[in-house]
DNA sequence: ACCCGTTACGTAAACGTTTACGTTCCTTAT
DNA sequence: ATAAGGAACGTAAACGTTTACGTAACGGGT
């Protein structure tokens, strides 16, 4: 059904080579034949077959994106950034998620290999050693967004979580809070967990506040884990005046739990989130939070990747600036 | 660098045909050669080239997904549903967004055509006639999720927005509300706007409540448009006791505006949302809302598409059930 | 001894492009 | 007049698979 350049060549009375040249604007033909070929192509409803082109050019003009779960708005922003620049370069993005706990990651990589993607972006998924092997065996440029690995040379782009957490906690201290809880971080997560906890601890230490490990409630960044943390604080009868959360969702969990018990935020308890996801501006009260420029991270990551693909250069890691977005969930103590 | 089946054939001392047969488990070879071929393939680090396969099989084992903007969690759920079932079938999904106002939709379709996708899923984007032409010219199965077109025969999968809106408003009426506002819907949106407004109106009419058009504040489903609607209600000094919103985000906008003016929800004003997006359970107070089963819609849509691709059957449209998720943003009047 | 069927392969064409190389013809400089 | 060079093509190989078809070997039934 679909017509090919052979059909065009036959009808237009030229060779396939000429058709190809015309279609790709390569020059080496005169205007008459150009018009003729173009006309025939249109008449036949020709559409090029990218797979055939990929085969001979050994480049699929496609990049792969692997992420943990597509479900949160968090990743939506990053993807949008990626897709926007890929589109500009005429590249397509093929998307896969790595399953919960990265269970599908090996298969994902394999799939990307079979599709012959020209580059790979890995978002937020933790790469264990075998996965890293697979990744390298693909032998294409790649970049990690919002992740790192043990390998020093693996290019990444992310914010400095420890410093960001430090900033947030210092902000609380500057507002005269002295008993500050932490909620929602998973200490075993070397990417988004431990560094934020360390930043929290360091900020306290640097300001002469002694660290009480009971005030650190571990979690998995979820809304639920925030709620549970608040419950734990209450059961402990902890005298906290503020709590720093490892995610906005956890912060909303804290607020939600407070709401159920008629604890007013920020009157009775100050809350700071992390991510500056869309919800943070919509919550009651609007949430003061640490911003990760997600869209920009996607954009920057993809730009770097494109550069590496096109110019065969290597990619340099980048730590991008975080920012504290001040809204109304923090009270200044006297 | 990458090895091919020719390499394997040479090393293993068989023909490429046999290698292909072994690799695809087609039978017609004895165990010894199978082991040999497999061993050589592993040794050479062979990885099949999907593009070459696509070319000869005339099937890319790929489906395309087009959506308006990737950025909201709304679409994340749908995509996850899609990707989950595509993965099961061994299909990849290639993703593109249609730009704001669908500005990029023609190009997107074209791209999907060139990639020779086996099927297409279009999420939430409104298809004008030329776009519909392009879509049909691709000559592959497709399904619309959360959209419809004028064409009766275009298969879609969505909830009945009018009935869903009706349900929500009836719920308010059953709770003795009589002066009910509506916010956030765009009346010119024939998919998600007008039907919800109609459902709202119909519910009022059916219960003998006269419709006051001033109580319908148009918007674009956003948080901002919710805030503006609330502001308008206040300026009008409208005596509403409840407001039905065309989206959760708009509902949060209403709540946020109330918060700023010390109006308590649901004590002073009842609010109902639409979507049951993640935020609805996190808001203060938790939001009573109309649920669209997004993940299921993605899953069902992709399943139908797969079926159509594999069995060459046509796709039947499906209206899937909505549900009212009751939380705490509605007050029962006496 | 002959035929038939099956198993286990190999041969080669085909998929739709791109592209290195060749060819023809025309122009221009020497 | 001739060489040189460029413009405008055409030829055919190549990309890495799949697959229709052919074939050789073997076993068993008559």
Q: What is the pLDDT of residue B146?
A: 87
B115 touches strand D (CB under 7 A): no
Q: What is the pLDDT of residue A149?
A: 81
B 44-73: CB within 7 Å of strand C: 52, 55-56, 58
Per-residue pLDDT tens over the stretch A238-274: 899 999 999 999 999 999 999 889 999 899 999 999 9
Q: Which two tokens stand for residue A17?
A: 């080579």
Q: Which of B281, B249, B283, B73 is closest to A69 using CA atoms?
A: B73
What is the C-alpha separation between B62 and B90, in angstroms, rounded?
Answer: 9
Q: Which residues of B touch A47 (CB under 8 A)?
A: 110, 113-114
A114 touches strand D (CB under 7 A): no
Q: Class of A5-48 per CATH? A: mainly alpha
B115 touches A: beta carbon within 8 Å: yes
Per-residue pLDDT tens over the stretch B57-80: 999 999 999 988 656 666 778 888
What is the C-alpha separation between A226 and A196, in angstroms, rounded?
Answer: 15
A77 touches B: beta carbon within 8 Å: yes
What is the C-alpha separation between B134 and B112, in angstroms, rounded?
Answer: 11
What is the C-alpha separation between B33 and A99, in angstroms, rounded?
Answer: 35
Q: Which residue has the higher pLDDT, B265 or A210?
A: A210
Measured at the CA of B29, the angle between CA B26 and CA B30, to 5 degrees, comes to 130
For A124-209, list the strands marked E by DSSP: 142-145, 156-159, 180-183
For the CA of A136 and the C1' of C23, the distance in angstroms is 46
What is the C-alpha separation between B118 and B305, in angstroms, rounded?
Answer: 9
DSSP 8-class letter at B161:
H
Fold of B161-292: Rossmann fold (3.40.50)
Average pLDDT score, chain A: 92
Q: What is the CATH number of domain A59-158+294-319?
A: 3.40.50.2300
Q: What is the pLDDT of residue B127?
A: 86
Please name the member of B97, B253, B283 whose beta carbon is closest to the beta carbon of A83.
Answer: B97
What is the C-alpha separation between A121 and A65, in angstroms, rounded?
Answer: 5
Residues of chain B with CATH 3.40.50.2300: 58-158+294-319, 161-292
- Decide if A80 and B69 are in contact by the 8 Å CB cutoff: yes
A30 touches strand D (CB under 7 A): yes
Q: Which residue is nearest to nucleotide C13 (CA to C1')?
A: B56
Please name the member of B50, B55, B259 whose beta carbon is closest to the beta carbon of A285.
Answer: B259
Q: How distant is the Cα of B237 from the closest Cα of chain A, in angstroms?
A: 24
CB-proximal positions of chain D, under 7 Å? 7-20
What is the C-alpha separation between A1 and B139, in angstroms, rounded?
Answer: 10
What is the C-alpha separation between A290 and A168, in angstroms, rounded?
Answer: 7
Cα–Cα distances (Å) from A2 to A184, B58, B312, in that order, read 55, 11, 18
Q: Which of B286, B10, B326, B43 is closest to B171 using CA atoms?
A: B326
**In the Cβ-directed half-sphere of B141, how many Cα atoms lie within 13 Å?**
23
Profile chain B (334 residues) by mean pLDDT over runs of 10 residues: 90 95 92 94 95 95 86 75 93 86 85 95 88 92 89 89 95 96 91 92 96 94 93 93 95 93 92 89 91 91 96 93 92 88
Residues of chain A with CATH 3.40.50.2300: 59-158+294-319, 161-292
Measured at the CA of B23, the angle between CA B20 and CA B28, to 5 degrees, comes to 70
Nearest nucleotide (C1') to alpha carbon of A9 = D10
Q: What percent of chain B has pLDDT over 90?
A: 74
Please name the member of A1, A104, A282 whose beta carbon is closest to the beta carbon of B279.
Answer: A282
Q: What is the pLDDT of residue B290?
A: 95
- Decide if A62 and B94 are in contact by the 8 Å CB cutoff: yes
Is residue A38 scored above 90 in pLDDT? Answer: yes
B103 touches A: beta carbon within 8 Å: no
Q: What is the mean pLDDT of residues A78-101?
A: 88
Reduce the DSSP state of residue B304 to 3 states and report it: helix
Distance spanning both ends of chain B, measured CA to CA: 78
- Decide if A95 and B83 are in contact by the 8 Å CB cutoff: yes
Q: Which two tokens stand for residue A238?
A: 């902890």
What is the C-alpha separation between A142 and A6, in angstroms, rounded?
Answer: 37
Size of interface A-B (CB pairs under 8 A): 143
A328 touches B: beta carbon within 8 Å: no
Per-residue pLDDT tens over the stretch A168-197: 999 999 999 999 999 999 998 888 899 999
Q: How distant is the Cα of B90 from the closest Cα of chain A, in angstroms?
A: 9
CB atoms < 10 A from the CB of B28, how many? Answer: 8
- Decide if B284 and A284 are in contact by the 8 Å CB cutoff: yes
Cα–Cα distances (Å) from A194 to A97, A162, A182, A253, B181, in that order, read 24, 8, 12, 20, 48
Would strands A62-67 and A92-97 be described as parallel, antiparallel, or unpaired? parallel
Max Cα–Cα distance, chain A, nearest Å: 87
Q: What is the pLDDT of residue B278?
A: 80
Residues of chain B with CATH 1.10.260.40: 5-48
Per-residue pLDDT tens over the stretch A134-181: 999 999 999 999 887 878 889 999 999 999 999 999 999 999 999 999
Per-residue pLDDT tens over the stretch A94-115: 988 887 677 789 989 999 999 9
CB-proximal positions of chain C, under 7 Å? 7-20
Q: What is the pLDDT of residue A73?
A: 63
Neighbour-count burial for A109-133, b at 16+ CB within 10 Å, e otherwise:
bebbbbbbbbbbbbbbbbbeeebee
Q: What is the CATH number of domain B58-158+294-319?
A: 3.40.50.2300
B69 touches A: beta carbon within 8 Å: yes
Q: Which residues of A touch B253 (CB under 8 A)?
A: 282
Q: What is the pLDDT of residue B70?
A: 56
- Decide if B115 and A51 are in contact by the 8 Å CB cutoff: yes
Q: Which residues of B touch A111 (CB under 8 A)?
A: 92
Q: What is the pLDDT of residue A6?
A: 96
What are φ and ψ of residue B270, in 5° steps?
Answer: -95, 140
Nearest nucleotide (C1') to alpha carbon of B15 = C10
- Angle in degrees, 0-180, between the axes of helices B194-206 and B161-174, rounded to the nearest 10: 40
Measured at the CA of B142, the angle between CA B139 and CA B145, to 5 degrees, comes to 155
Q: What is the pLDDT of residue B281?
A: 86
Cα–Cα distances (Å) from A198 to A147, A159, A222, A271, B146, in that order, read 17, 15, 20, 18, 45
């Amino acid at each position: 059904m679909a017509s090919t350049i052979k059909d065009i060549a036959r009808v237009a009375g030229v060779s396939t080579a000429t058709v190809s040249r015309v279609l790709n604007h390569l020059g080496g033909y005169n205007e008459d034949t150009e018009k003729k070929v173009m006309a025939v192509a249109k008449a036949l409803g020709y559409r090029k077959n990218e797979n055939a082109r990929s085969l001979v050019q050994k480049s699929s003009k496609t990049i792969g994106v692997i992420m943990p779960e597509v479900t949160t708005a968090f990743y939506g922003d990053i993807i949008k950034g990626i897709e926007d620049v890929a589109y500009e370069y005429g590249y397509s993005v093929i998307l896969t998620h790595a399953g919960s706990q990265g269970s599908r990651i090996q298969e994902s990589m394999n799939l990307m290999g079979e599709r012959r993607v020209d580059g790979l972006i890995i978002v937020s998924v933790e790469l264990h050693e075998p996965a890293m092997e697979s990744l390298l065996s693909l032998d294409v440029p790649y970049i990690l967004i919002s992740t790192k690995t043990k390998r020093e040379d693996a290019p990444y782009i992310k914010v400095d979580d420890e410093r960001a957490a430090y900033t947030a906690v210092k902000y609380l201290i500057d507002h005269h809070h002295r008993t500050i809880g932490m909620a929602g971080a998973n200490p075993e997560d070397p990417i988004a967990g431990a560094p934020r906890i360390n930043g929290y601890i360091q900020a306290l230490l640097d300001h002469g506040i002694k660290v009480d490990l009971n005030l650190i409630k571990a979690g998995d960044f979820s809304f639920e884990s925030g709620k549970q943390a608040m419950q734990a604080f209450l059961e402990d009868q902890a005298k906290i005046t503020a709590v720093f959360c490892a995610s906005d969702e956890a912060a909303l969990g804290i607020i939600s739990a407070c709401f159920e018990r008629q604890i007013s935020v920020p009157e009775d308890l100050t809350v700071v989130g992390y991510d500056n996801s869309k919800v943070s501006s919509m919550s009651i009260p609007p949430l003061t939070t640490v911003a990760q420029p997600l869209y920009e991270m996607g954009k920057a990551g993809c730009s770097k990747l494109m550069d590496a693909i096109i110019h065969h250069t290597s990619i340099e890691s980048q730590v991008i600036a975080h920012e504290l977005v001040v809204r109304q969930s923090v009270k200044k103590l006297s």
